A and B are shown apart, each in its own frame.
Chain A
Amino acid sequence: MKEKTLTIKPVTRVEGHAKVSIFLNEQGQVDRATLNIMEFRGFEKFLEGRPIEEAPNIVTRICGICPVSHHLVSAKACDRAVGVSPTETATKLRELMHMGQYIHNHPLHILFLGGPDFLLEDVGPTERNIVGLLKAHPALASKAIEVRAFGQKVVEIAGGSAIHPTTSLPGGISKHPGKGRLENLRDEIGSVKNKADQIISAVEKGVEKKFESLLSEDSWKSHYMALNRGGNFELYDGNIRIIGKDGAVEEDFEASDYPKRIEEHVEGWSYTRFPYYKKEGWPDGVYRVGPLARINVAENIEMPKAAAKLKEIRSRFGHPLHDTFHYNTARLMELIYAIEKAEAILSDDSILHEDVRTPFEFRRGEGVAAIEAPRGTLIHHYKVNDHGIITGANIIVATTHNNGAMNRSVLNISKRLVKGEEVDYQLANKIESVIRHYDPCLSCSTHLDGRFKVEIALIDNDGRLLQTLRN
């Protein structure tokens, strides 16, 4: 039997375009398996020449599912590039917008993307989706739809539009959304919190029986990387922390120092590169980002219900969690956190002040900022000339970090499950479901045409340039 390649294309229920190729050797065993990411638009190239104040409203088009993350991290990078700090109210409104995105994002994953894999019994390709979910779990589905709708409403009020927000610019927010609308959100959030609890218990009940098998599908040790504020769980702003396979903290650094810690591996068959932790080298240095990483990196959580949930998870499964399915467990916890955090921000009266923007002047400069997008750490970095025109842009995106890990998981599960020459729907879906745990955003990962620029190592904050940025 000569060599053969089985392909699954397109990978469904993920954002963007990818294909899985499984290479069988003569004995029909899986020799290699790859996840090729096939998207490319070149945002960084055409950001050059654009005015800095327009960047936050251009970069949202990198991703339609997490446009808020790009909008806010871009605004933060712009603030630093022109040297202006946003007002307190503006920062609060931005963080509120960010929480709104999580309240929309995780229910979206449960309802449309990953959920159907672990909430529906063995069904065919035409039922494993939202329609199937509505039949099987009507209560869960309608609650999830309502919670997600609330999330999008928060983003619309704080950001002007639920998808591709527009209100942030250097120095803060352009116009205050109005007291009345914020007060309405404040009244509604209580009921949203209950609905979220019901969703979480429904999901947990839904997977109870096959929980062990789900965990065992793909479990391997890796490093983890996430934003963090002095050990606290953080989604909006803070340092980046890397922990080892045993959970010990190995790195804690500013966003701009990022390239000193990470290098990348190259493959001809994918637009995306494969970052790995420099000290450990390839492939041992592969690390994971996103919900699983955030839950592992956090020492404690400032929000009470989320903290309780974390304690419960850790007592049951230990620390750090290595099973890929735990991405979903972490997502549930993060949903609680996001709602609690939104409630905290909404109840803080400083959000009602009218002062939402600090004026700014254009100056030559650079700005680097990081944020936790639903799928992992996201970094924007801009270089601006003295007319405030962008001369260089570099965007380092969540899913790129997970590229190595996703390929590793695909290889693991393919070796275990692929026996013969065909890959039927059930088997293919098993492989895809592992990818869906990561909930990759492929158009994000490859908007920057598949490469992850290690060498654009900018210097530390006092402006000393270690490495030139060539464009």
Chain B
Amino acid sequence: MELAQTAFSTCRVMAMPERVGVFICHCGLNIAGVIDVKELHTYTQMLSGVSLVEDYSYMCSEPGQELIRKAIREGKINRVVVAACSPRMHEPTFRNVLSQEGMNPYLLDVANLREHDSWVHMFEKDKALEKAKDLVRMAVARAAKLEALTPREVSVERTALIIGGGIAGISAALDLGDAGYKVYLVESSPTVGGHMAQLDKTFPTMDCSACILTPKMVSVARHPNVNLRTYAEVVDVQGYVGNFRVKIRSKPRYVDAKKCTACGDCVPVCPIEVPSEFDVELTWRKAIYIPFPQAVPTTYTIDDKSCIGLKPLTCRQCEDKCGPKAINFNESEREEEIIAGTIIVATGYRPYNPSKEEQYGYGVYPNVITAIEMERMLNASGPTGGKVLRPSDMQEPGRIAFLHCIGSRDERANSYCSRICCMYSMKQARQIKEKHPEAEVHEFFIDIRAYGKGFEEFYEKAAREYGVTFIRGKVAEVMEEPATHDLLVRAEDTMLGRPVEIETDLVILSTALQPHEQTDQVQSLLRISRGPEGFFSEAHPKLRPVDTLVDGVFICGVAQGPKDIPDTVAQSKGAASGAASLMGQGKVTIEPYFISIDEDVCSGCKVCIDLCPYQAIHIEQKTAKANEAQCKGCGVCVSSCPAGAIKANHFTDDQLMSQIVAAVGGA
């Protein structure tokens, strides 16, 4: 027993039978730049129980991993401590190294010298070294107490649940369906298609959005492996990867989709008119409606909030008028429970509502509209049949201004860049120029973000060929001439360094993308975390962009962050392949962090029974029994068990106590 002296604590570490190998990573300069690795190396050698110390520039690299493999092969060590970056980053990597050499992967502890030490104490090198010594000592103390564990194998249901029927959900559903997996695609609105269905053209290829989307919508509806659930919501998710028990609740449409031919005879007789959500309230729709002609499933839906045929029974004209007798007013809500092996979240986005930014006058000046409203006007099947009109007088505007970054890159709204506004603004500008070559089109921007394939050329063409004028400067204010509703756009042209004022007939706000309004509900169902902007957070920004920290749950599309359609589809294919690889294996290994209960100690006090959110413990002949499959390893029952009868694998009391003693204690 010898003294391991640090200012933090004097600690006589008892001699330990285990032979711990400690591998210190420089991480290039990320660690070595702050922590004196040589000093740490010599200090670590002094720790009893340590039989081998190595340090290397990149432990996660192949040569780094080889150092560990060699030490294991030569039988020098039976425990491994890697002092490098966060375990949440490379613990899986190093566990594989151990199992490749036939050593139980759970005999590994990772000391977080990077994120918790060198990166956050860059200017206090001596203190960082002290802390590194303590963190290594704590890891060695814990390593000595680690026990071999075998992960639990669980069968994976070959069914995927996809939440959100936009382009992201559709493409994932098709990929998985084609790969032979059963899919439940759940969409809350009456039709799949999402926001893409509202678009006219898509950049940079100027394809017509409906042409590339509707075939996908139809094939997803007809795909033998895909169970489409539109006008439906996921209301409960229990269980774990491979065995999610999901409850889906379908709202009543009051129209039988099989019988309805979408002939539309019911529409004229319906007395109720409400603003059309699909057309962003530019036009009206009846209480019985189909969002847009190519909606899938192609059936009408009765909106029970506004229809007066339900509660109380007064109207019901549409019922009489309907030829195929598809309308059925006493249809009720249906709930079904399915087992899903994997879940993909593709909930898409909600456009930013700029009305709280008075300086632009949206909602006050009729001729200030948002880009999505513009998109609906440009669309041939839109409310204006493709004509660009000024809402105030329905005239064709001669001078148009696009205002970029509304609600984006703005501390008061969202600090992030929504990535697609520059491109869709330019796209709309070119479309207007095609229709009215003589029109004056100005784009007020901070920076043009044209980063994608063909984007730069698209931008060049917009400026040179279509004559769109680009003015670098965020618009300070939009003023209106009340009589004519003409608008005056005031900004500062930062290139020329002088203010600029332009009279225009129409102003279009390029609004930001925000998380879908049901993101909170989906998050509480799946327990996946969200970033500061509210989008779902991926397991690792670089290496696991579509995974989440909850095994078996994937995210893709704008639900994970603003992006355009190509990136969305790429991510949804990524998520589909992630889910397919899980379901393909048919089994998945679960972290063996579950609990075990010692029957000789458990005295049936029942403290744990009601405590477990997963009902993983039940009473059999007076003592508690653990259901390993249900247990997720949180350990709340372990610390609550007054008899000390429950043990948490990999986070046992001994292991945690040894770390505490090593951190602050004496002997």
Asked whether any CB of A lies within 8 Å of a CB of B in the complex, the reply is no
By a beta-carbon cutoff of 8 Å, the part of chain B in contact with chain A is none
Taking Cβ atoms with an 8 Å cutoff, the residues of A that contact B are: none
